[in-house]
Structure 1
């Protein structure tokens, strides 16, 4: 009996004292209090405008044709039957293919180089990120000077190399060349971010894998194909998604370099023209909704195709 009493007293001594209810409630409320400002910000600046866009896309919203009234799918059918919209959509497809492929390939190449330790590596990374940090309008102005038909750097270099016998107009003449030259400006902006995303994944790959491959007689190219690329697919997928989103929403570069010309207009430019020049906000909302759906579908397709979960 005495042993049982002693054991009970020992358990009472080691049993932690219950915390005050107010303190436990404060600990439970703290995480929610910390994320509340972010949730308010997301709801106010993202979800509310998105819901408003979805609703208004089914209405005729035009200050030149009042009142606002329900129109069903008329906005969407009008857009799909508009030759200008279809032409801009085809331009955007070319922007998408060129932009994603070139920025991803260059991003992988730059990430592999930056993965090696060399003197001045941090400085190179800092300088490399500058194009991504610049606004699209500034980039358009800078490259507009390069493409300038009268005193541009591109004409000067090609003329000095005797590749052309006179200065030429590059942007605005040939349809495909115009799109490629405009998209190269956006590639110049997107590639640094793609390189950093892929570099972050490369730094996680264990160096022992490369050492084992080298001992087994694997060449540098085979190690790149069989170790680097498969294990970096997560970073490559994220880089391709961000490039796809940026390209599908390209506006600044084509507008600054080529104006409102149809041979280089993107689908986002048409959303701007419809909404703020034609004042047909209903169709503008509908086109924005279609762009959002296409962007989400392409991003999901890229993730499902490229992304693979890797465990070391």
Structure 2
């Protein structure tokens, strides 16, 4: 009996050593842990396979950005050759331009109206869609349609709605005795911007709804049940549970609305043309670059729009976004 004990201890130790090494018995059969380590050790092959895609995406994103930054400090004008270094003169000329300042003020109003309306409507509609109901999938599918339409198509559709002769809006105003047949777009600057931005809000709100709805789906039902047991009202649950826990989705929703409204082009150009009452900074980029053929100032204006977009997005994330841990 005493002679077999060391043997058994030695065998157990061997099994432990083998299991630690990922093998059992004689070392020819790998354990599950050993198989997992072996299967995940693929070496550099995955990185080699995805390297072309990474290089392509990086080149597609960074090469134009670097080119824009460099060319914004040069005079690149087909009517004033050759290309030469001009320092900050492009930026200085843009800041001194009345058209640029006017379009910047218009764009600021576009941003305020668009971000506010799309966020409020997105949160409200997402809350209505939060609970499953019959036909919910159909409602979401129909909701996505305006987002799927190109901005030019939406501008053409709404140009008929705003038509002063046979448009829906003027007809309704006439039936209400508020004066039909009026030209809504163009004469009044604020009214023009608000009406045009309503068209863009109609386009970007579906994406806002989906982003906020995705955040709401992560909120456990137990929180609402506990709030109901404690006597919390529906509005109290929304204010104390839904909105705080949906802040990550709301932040992303506001950022995408900011990017869309800062770069709005299709709707103002189709609905109001080149009129100064509704022109945006992005439209001025087109006018400066392809009408005046001053590509240097066009690059500079594009760079300014990019910087403003980045700064505004960071401010929104800093102010609204909160990490949620459930």
> What TM-score, normalized to structure 2?
0.89
CA distance in 2, matches of 1:5, 1:244: 70
The secondary structure found in structure 2 opposite 1:27 is: coil
2:168 aligns with one of 153, 160, 163:
153
1:64 and 2:72 aligned: no
What does residue 294 of structure 1 align with? 308
Residue number among 110, 116, 124 corresponding to 1:101 in the alignment: 116
Taking the aligned partners of 1:246 and 1:177, their CA distance within structure 2 comes to 20
Aligned-residue offset at 1:6: 5.2
Deviations 1:88-140 (A, max 9, x none): 00000000000000000000010011112211110010000000010000000
Q: Which runs of 5+ in 2 are unaligned?
A: none
Q: Does 1:132 align with 2:147?
A: yes
Aligned to 2:101: 86
Per-residue CA deviation, residues 48-95 of structure 1 (Å, 9 max, x unaligned), is 000000000000001111111000000001101111100000000000
Aligned length: 308
Cα distance in 1 between the residues matched to 2:50 and 2:197: 38
Structure 1 residue 163 displacement after superposition: 2.6
2:43 to 17, 20, 28: 28
Q: What do residues 27-47 of structure 1 show as CA deviations (whole Å, max 9, x unaligned)?
A: 122431343243133223211
Residue 254 of structure 2 corresponds to residue 270 of structure 1: no
Worse-matched range after superposition: 34-43 or 292-301? 34-43
Counterpart-to-counterpart distance in 1, 2:248 and 2:53: 27
1:191 to 205, 208, 219: 205
Residues in 2 aligned to 1:295 and 1:129: alpha-carbon distance in whole angstroms: 25
Q: Distance in 2 between matches of 1:209 and 1:78?
A: 57
Q: Which of 236, 251, 264 is the equivalent residue of 1:222?
A: 236
* Alpha-carbon distance in 1 for matches of 2:45, 2:88: 46
In 1, distance between residues paired with 2:50 and 2:259?
26
Structure 1 residue 173 displacement after superposition: 1.0
Deviation at 1:159, TM superposition (A): 1.5
**For the structure 1 residues 108 and 262, does the alpha-carbon distance in structure 2 shift closer, same or farther, using more than 3 Å as the test?**
same
Question: Cα–Cα, structure 1 residues 8 and 219, in superposed 2: closer, same or farther, change >3 Å?
Answer: closer
Question: How far did residue 185 of structure 1 move?
Answer: 0.4
Structure-2 residue corresponding to 1:209:
223
Corresponding residue of 1:49 = 64
C-alpha separation in 1, matches of 2:40 and 2:178: 75
Q: 1:251 to 1:16 in 2, by over 3 A?
A: farther
Q: Point out where structure 1 has 5 or more consecutive residues left out of the alignment.
A: none
CA RMSD of aligned residues (A): 2.1
Q: Residue deviations 1:176-216, cap 9 Å, x none?
A: 00000000000000100000000001011011111111111
Q: Deviations over 1:138-187 (max 9, x none)?
A: 000000110011111111122123232x3110000100000000000000
Distance in 1 (CA, whole Å) between partners of 2:11 and 2:321 is 61
Please, what TM-score do these two structures have when normalized by structure 1?
Answer: 0.93
The 1:283/1:227 distance shift into structure 2, 3 A limit, reads same
Change (3 A) 1:111 1:8: closer
Partner of 2:249: 235
Structure 1 residues 211 and 26: CA distance shift in structure 2, 3 A: closer
